[in-house]
Amino acid sequence: MTCLVPLLGDQLSPGLAALREADKADTIVLMMEVAAEASYVPHHRKKIAFLFSAMRHFAAELRDAGWTVDYVALDDLANGQDFDSEVVRAVARHGATSIVTVEAGEWRVIDAQQRWGALTGLPCTILPDDRFLFSRTDFADWAHNRKRLVMEDFYRLMRRHTGILMDGIAPAGGQWNFDIENRKPPRKGMTYPPLPAFAPDAITAAVLDLVAARFGNNFGELLPFSHAVTRDQALVALDDFIRHRLPRFGDYQDAMVAGEDHLFHSQLSSAMNCGLLLPLEVCQAAEAAYRAGTVPINAVEGFIRQILGWREYVRGIHWIAGPDYTARNHFGATRDLPAFYWTGETDMRCLAESVGATSRHAHAHHIQRLMVLGNFAMLIGTDPVQIHVWFLAVYDDAYEWVEAPNVIGMSQFADGGLMGSKPYAGGGAYINRMSDYCGRCRYNVKQRTGPDACPFNSLYWDFLARHRDTLGRNNRLLRMYDGWDRFDAAEQGAIRAQAAEFMAALPGKAEGY
């Protein structure tokens, strides 16, 4: 009796359910680098290199631990280049009698997993992914019959459910949420601790050569490459964050600074999302630092809320929203994604900085993603599918379960409010308050109209005016519509003409995308 355990690229956890339940003596772990996955969206080169390197290191670690691993590399001649054909080939190669796998984080891949039984004629068990802190069914139960799926309600439930940052039945520090103390703008002259860098070893060097040869035309800078690609390295990165950046994480969570791509963020999403780190251990490490007195409550609560709250919440939304979630288009938006999302060639400094960070690291921090890149795409009425594909392609932490709710729901409001109670729309004033971008921008953030006016300003008002029929009765937007109504007709006309002129001059799609 031989059991085949196909293990996906984001399942690099030694405690994965399929491994926990397997017997090393009669199990073949199958790991596959396939072109279908590496190219179903035009992934950033660093993202591909990171995942292939982490997979190869994980395979070596499994072998060291006594597992039999069949690793199909991208350039293996017989590689069928998709999961289905590789599972069928492996079953024949090993005379497997059953298949056990852990459910993928994407509907598309779950469909494939559900085919494997019929394709091979073997019993195929798909286990839940229990690395998350709340199951799919528990989330569906929580969401059932609720009028609104409020993240803060879910987060408090998760605090109670896990006991994290709890003193008995009370929240640590006496309140659930310390956001009021967070979100300070960056201070002039502030310095930011460097990230730990991990030099490529021979495995990573081989992957970098492969990616350069096979994905040479993809977006993003491949070198320098310093990602943590093993669990040990990811643990070093976690420790480094807790010591050096977590203490100020809360204060400057929403800040943006030109030339500073990481600030006090953890940069742990790629390691967590592929399984090198588990969310529970990350939260526990942060809580331990707070209990030891090295991290203030506003920082630790703000950080834990992102993982225990937002991360689990968006995953729950992804599963209850169903496979057609990414096709939602509440505003009927149809504009092509402007080419500068791929090239960075724009004189809007906030966008150029954010695309630049994305190109350098396959990473940008939350406010760059939400209030610059996502906000701009929504204001100009970008087709949600195109911006969804962009976000899925360019970030090393992007998998559909986490990317789609953040993009389709949070940043584009394309789901019509399943996730958020109002669109995250903002003008130049927000970006100016939270960053130092505007000072050296070619545009003037204080102006709404005229040749030097910041495009975000007219686009923001035009967006509100354009969608008044659907957004005008939203209580959370009444103040903004009051603001719009205070402009006289001539000013309103000038703002809308400015926005129309700007949008008409936008570049179209980048060639090849």
- Kindly list the residues in this chain that would bind ligand SF4 in the complex (CB under 6 A): 348-350, 428, 431-432, 437-438, 441, 443, 445, 454-456
For ligand FAD, the closer of residues 272 and 351 by Cβ is 272
Check residue 310 for interaction with ligand FAD (CB under 6 A).
yes
Pick what 265 binds: ligand FAD, ligand SF4, none; C-beta below 5 to 8 Å, kind-dependent.
Answer: ligand FAD
For ligand SF4, the closer of residues 332 and 439 by Cβ is 439
What is each CA distance from 57 to 4, 13, 44, 231, 272, in whole angstroms? 20, 12, 20, 9, 16
CA distance 45 to 30: 24
Residues 6 or more apart whose Cβ sits within 8 Å of residue 32: 6, 72, 79, 83, 86
Q: Which two tokens stand for residue 360?
A: 């350098």
**Nearest-CA neighbor of 431 among 453, 457, 451, 408?**
457
CA distance 93 to 113: 19
Pick what 310 binds: ligand SF4, ligand FAD, none; C-beta below 5 to 8 Å, kind-dependent.
Answer: ligand FAD
Q: Which position among 142, 192, 391, 460 is part of the footprint of ligand FAD (CB under 6 A)?
A: 391
For ligand SF4, the closer of residues 238 and 372 by Cβ is 372
Q: Which position among 44, 57, 311, 361 is part of the footprint of ligand FAD (CB under 6 A)?
A: 311
Q: Are 272 and 279 in contact (CB under 8 A)?
A: yes
- 3-state secondary structure (DSSP) of residue 399: coil
Amino acid of residue 7 = L
Q: Are 62 and 47 in contact (CB under 8 A)?
A: no
Whether a cis peptide bond, with omega within 30° of 0, leads into 200 is no
Helix (H) or strand (E) holding 243: helix 231-244
Interface segment toward ligand FAD; rule CB under 6 A; list 139-147, 264-272, 413-421, 480-488: 264-272
Check residue 402 for interaction with ligand FAD (CB under 6 A).
yes
Check residue 244 for interaction with ligand FAD (CB under 6 A).
no
**Nearest-CA neighbor of 236 among 271, 206, 203?**
271
What residues between 289 and 308 interact with ligand FAD by CB under 6 A? 303, 306-307
- 3-state secondary structure (DSSP) of residue 257: strand
For ligand SF4, the closer of residues 113 and 368 by Cβ is 368
Interface segment toward ligand FAD; rule CB under 6 A; list 33-41, 141-149, 400-408, 450-458: 400-408
Check residue 407 for interaction with ligand FAD (CB under 6 A).
yes
Check residue 369 for interaction with ligand FAD (CB under 6 A).
yes
Rg (CA), the chain: 24
* Smallest separation (angstroms) from ligand SF4 to the CB of 454: 3
For ligand FAD, the closer of residues 98 and 266 by Cβ is 266
Residues that bind ligand FAD (CB under 6 A): 265-269, 272-273, 303, 306-307, 310-311, 314, 365-366, 369-370, 374, 391, 395, 397-398, 402-403, 406-407, 410-411
